[in-house]
Amino acid sequence: MKYRHHAVAVLLSFGLLVGAAQARGDHALDHHYIRVELGTNGAQPTSGRLLLFATDAKVAEAAAKAESKGKSSVVESVDADPFSGTVTSVAAREVEHWVPGKTIDVDPEHMAYPAGWSQLPPGDYLVQAVLDVNHDYNYLGRGAGDLVSEVVKLHLPAAGVPKLKLAKALPADDDPWTVPLSASPAMRENVAAARPHAHLVDFTSPLLSAFWGRPIHMRGWVLTPPGYDANAATRYPTVYYTQGFGGNNDRVIRPIVTVYTAMAKQQMPPMIWVFLDESSPTGTHEFADSVNNGPWGQALTTELIPHLEAHYRMDGDVNGRFLNGHSSGGWATLWLQTRYPKVFGGTWSTSPDPSDFHDFTGVDLYAPHANVYRRADGSAYPLVRNHDKVLGTFEQFAKLERVLGSYGGQLASFEWVFSPRGKDGRPVPMFDRDTGDVDPAVVSYWRDHYDIAYRLQQQWPELKPDLDGKIHLYVGTADTFYLDGSAHKLKAVLDGLGAKSEFRFLPDRTHGNVYWIGDDHHGLLKQISWAMYAVARPDSRLKPVATP
């Protein structure tokens, strides 16, 4: 993330695989269309997914006034928030070769969330148009190059055809190391100290390039510890850190600075950290070998890691390679450890996405007539909670992400990782987006290839010599995405096998604060780092300096 404040998207596994909206041809104006003009600032035609957002004007203006402490009720942006249910209505259509100065009509009945806009109560709404030129809205939200309109107040249903104009292109992202003017002197010092020790990784993978038929880059950052000397004999244990949903190379700067600062203060031991970028056009590839995404796990273990060990003073053995990741990154680290137990000396996975598909955020995918939207009694499956309060349902998330686009949502990214390839060259959907009905044939494929608990049950005698004692999992009992349920099932499987493992269910912790220990928001990360170091350097006398 950039070094100014952002809300990190950590949607564990809930996006959507969807079909693109059908372009509409000429029509009679019997619907309440919204007309959008492409501004003439650019000379070239453009394509993308045209999105319209509408929200109740009074509610939005009151929220803006409250946030500004009464200074202003001006709303500068209207966007969808998957944590707020149906507060924002969205409509969409695909556009191709849109010529500047021309208009396109959007039918907000055709592809809309939560329903066609004709069902909105009559009244005043704030409306904004966005052209998602990179088809990455589900993963990153609005980004560089996307075109946006001003926020316009409209009375809906409108008597005529309201018109919006895409007149502004969002600027390119700043240097991710940029420190905001409001930053404290200590923060500025920490960033300045960490930056020389962070080295960009941009490795072209032969395996992935052969799979895709074009150069595929593996990206990340290598963080060396204080006192690191490339010419010295000293070697260091190495931690491979995988990001959660929504992460990429720009959004990992804050963790890099956090780790370096803690090592400099001797609150964490001296190790090399590799911050891996697992983002891709299809979502998070999670370093799993996939018939859709390609052999990411093989590329990491047989290409990138040997490349890094040849260029940095890394231990280069199983007891010096460790894994740490959160959310989708937590699933990736569990997968890598169980799939390549001879490569890694242990995983410390936090709040991982479901590792036992008997509890896929509360849904048993293996149940007869399984449905991810509704229980047998007809009640909705929740997807997101704030302790006892449900913030959104599985169905709401699915249908919002279908409108936002067919790529990059987390369930879509799971299907790109887990599902067989369909006749159309895309992953076969695990469930029907209209009804929520689960496809048992697809789930059977998921189980045989990617259900971690199932794999352990089937292959434990073979895996035990290299894997026993290497799984460490931490999750809050109030996890925002109900991930504690799947963790309990994985623990039961390992206990039933007589395996050595560490599971910690942290009372009342959520998806966002599982690392907190007292006032230290990185306390668990520090504990994890010392546990890793004890494996790599069992005779070391280094001890952590207490966090002030």
Dump pLDDT digits (tens) for 102-132: 999 999 998 999 999 999 999 999 999 999 9
Q: Does pLDDT of 23 surpass 80?
A: no
Nearest to 126 by CA among 72, 79, 70, 69: 79
Token pair of 275, please?
Answer: 């911050």
Residue linked to tokens 């990782």: 417
pLDDT of residue 1: 34
Q: What is the mean pLDDT of residues 199-219?
A: 98
What span, in angstroms and rounded, lies between the C-alpha atoms of 313 and 324? 20
Token pair of 33, please?
Answer: 């269309």
Nearest to 165 by CA among 296, 39, 68, 30: 39
Q: Which of 287-296, 398-407, 468-477, 524-533 has the lowest mean pLDDT?
A: 398-407
Tell me the three state secondary structure of residue 190. Answer: helix
- Residues ≥6 apart with Cβ < 8 Å to 287: 242, 276, 278, 296, 297, 300, 332, 335, 336
Q: What is the mean pLDDT of residues 176-181?
A: 91
Dump pLDDT digits (tens) for 434-461: 999 999 999 999 999 999 999 999 999 9
Q: Does pLDDT of 82 surpass 80?
A: no
Dump pLDDT digits (tens) for 474-511: 999 999 999 999 999 999 999 999 999 999 999 999 99
Concatenated DSSP letters of 348-401: EEESPSPSSTT-BTTB-TTSTT-BSSB-TTSPBPEEEEETTEEEEEHHHHHHHH
What span, in angstroms and rounded, lies between the C-alpha atoms of 13 and 541? 41
Dump pLDDT digits (tens) for 393-422: 999 999 999 999 988 898 899 999 999 999
Question: Are 510 and 476 a contacting pair, CB within 8 Å?
Answer: yes
Dump pLDDT digits (tens) for 128-150: 999 999 999 999 999 999 999 99
What confidence tier does 14 reach under pLDDT thresholds 50, 70, 90?
very low
Q: Does pLDDT of 21 surpass 90?
A: no
Q: What is the mean pLDDT of residues 140-169?
A: 94
Residue linked to tokens 């890793």: 532
Count of positions (residues) in the chain: 548
Q: Does pLDDT of 3 surpass 50?
A: no
Give the phi and the psi of residue 231 in degrees, each rounded to 5: -100, -5
pLDDT of residue 296: 98
Give the phi and the psi of residue 153 in degrees, each rounded to 5: -90, 125
Q: Which residue has the higher pLDDT, 12 or 502?
A: 502
Tell me the three state secondary structure of residue 56. Answer: strand
Report cis status (omega within 30 of 0) of the bond before 157. Answer: yes
Distances (CA, A) of 413 to 79, 115, 285, 479: 22, 25, 7, 21
- Residues ≥6 apart with Cβ < 8 Å to 4: 178, 179, 180
What confidence tier does 548 reach under pLDDT thresholds 50, 70, 90?
low
Task: List residues bridging with 437 in a β-sheet.
Answer: 371
Q: What is the mean pLDDT of residues 500-528?
A: 97
Q: How many CB atoms lie within 10 A of CB 5?
A: 10
Question: Are 185 and 223 a contacting pair, CB within 8 Å?
Answer: no
Dump pLDDT digits (tens) for 329-370: 999 999 999 999 999 999 999 999 999 999 999 999 999 999
Task: List residues bridging with 348 in a β-sheet.
Answer: 324, 472
pLDDT of residue 45: 92
Q: Does pLDDT of 472 surpass 50?
A: yes
545: left (phi over 0), alpha (psi -120 to 50) or beta: beta
Report cis status (omega within 30 of 0) of the bond before 121. Answer: no
Question: Are 71 and 146 a contacting pair, CB within 8 Å?
Answer: no
What confidence tier does 32 reach under pLDDT thresholds 50, 70, 90?
confident
- How far is residue 438 CA from its own chain's centroid? 23
pLDDT of residue 8: 35
Tell me the three state secondary structure of residue 174. Answer: coil
Mean pLDDT of the chain: 92
Q: What is the mean pLDDT of residues 258-286?
A: 97
pLDDT of residue 407: 86
pLDDT of residue 431: 97
Q: What is the mean pLDDT of residues 213-232?
A: 97
Q: State the pTM of this model.
A: 0.92
Dump pLDDT digits (tens) for 57-74: 999 999 999 998 999 999
Residue linked to tokens 């394509």: 47
